[in-house]
Structure 1
Amino acid sequence: MNTILLIISLFTFSSSYSNNVSTQDAIKINGLSLFSSKDNIIKTLGKPKVVFAPHYDCGWDDYDDVVYYVLKYDSVNFIGHKTSNYVIKDINFSPFLKYKISYNGVNISSETSLKSFLKISGQSKHEILTRRNTPSSVLAIMNGPHQIIEVVHITDGKSDDSVYFYFVNDKLCRYEYFTPC
């Protein structure tokens, strides 16, 4: 009985450990880390097209009397506030994306396949989504009703925050940073 419990415990630990990746160091946009200062973002990418306070229902909104701002660029958004770093909030991958995006030091783009990304990220699991449980942000960039939508969900094991990489018809189409309410 103890042997069975030990095997189950080891399997559970190894499965959860494989998903614990330091996303903070893994993803980069033109060399910027997941978390970067507003000054570094502007120095690297230039002035954003738009800056606005999003006022979400939960999550990033006016927490502890701090106003969060979105720095909106072509296909890339950052969110943060003046006393802390900004995070890469989301990226829409397309052939026209003008930024260099890398994961674990390997360039990724709208041509990156799911199999390729799983190898780059060290992940082994992904989920196939239905249109019903696909985020509207992903549906908005899809080209038709009969497409296969898959997602790779990565956590760092240190917090409840995580990142999602969405694939449509086996090609990377979107990245989103998630933090719970």
Structure 2
Amino acid sequence: MRLLVIILFVTSLYSHAINCADMFNIIADKNISDNDTRKYIEEYIKKYECATDITLKNEKLSNRTYDLLEFAHDYKKNETFDLLLDNGTKPNMQLATSIGMSFAFFFRENGVGIDNKKASPELLEFVKTPKYKEFKEEKFKLIKKLLDHGQDPKDYAVLKAILKIINDEKDLDVLLESENR
């Protein structure tokens, strides 16, 4: 009887881990809306008592570790992202780096990249456009939210380096300094 109890306990732990890991698949599923993703993740948190700070590492794909917050950001699931923050997920350096790199990707997608750590004249003109200003404003709101939830301002070194190349780091400095006070 005692062995049966131990087997059932171990099985339930394994089952719990599998259920919680499913949250990564739900967030990554492009066929599930952000609103529905938020509902499913909320159910996993409440019904299965899943922690929101779990991580995923797939050594076949990469040697880095992913967390739910970074997945929600990368898959543009903003409601889910907010739910995770509100349930105690702590922002980390990887997420801040990802946000910094999103600026570089945004420039490339718009045909004006950074080459050899130098900004082209086209890029310097692009950063004056409403399209860039809107993108930057959206990202800075996100950064403010992350800082309010405990993000270390020092984690934004990559973003600061990118913005310095285009001579647009002052707003970030102000935002990060206001959080250091």
Give the TM-score normalised by the residue count of structure 1: 0.26
Where relative contact order (Cα < 8 A, 6+ residues apart) is larger, the structure is 1
The structure in which a higher percent of residues are helix is 2
Larger proportion of strand:
1
Flag the structure with larger Rg: 2
Give TM-score scaled by structure 2 length.
0.26
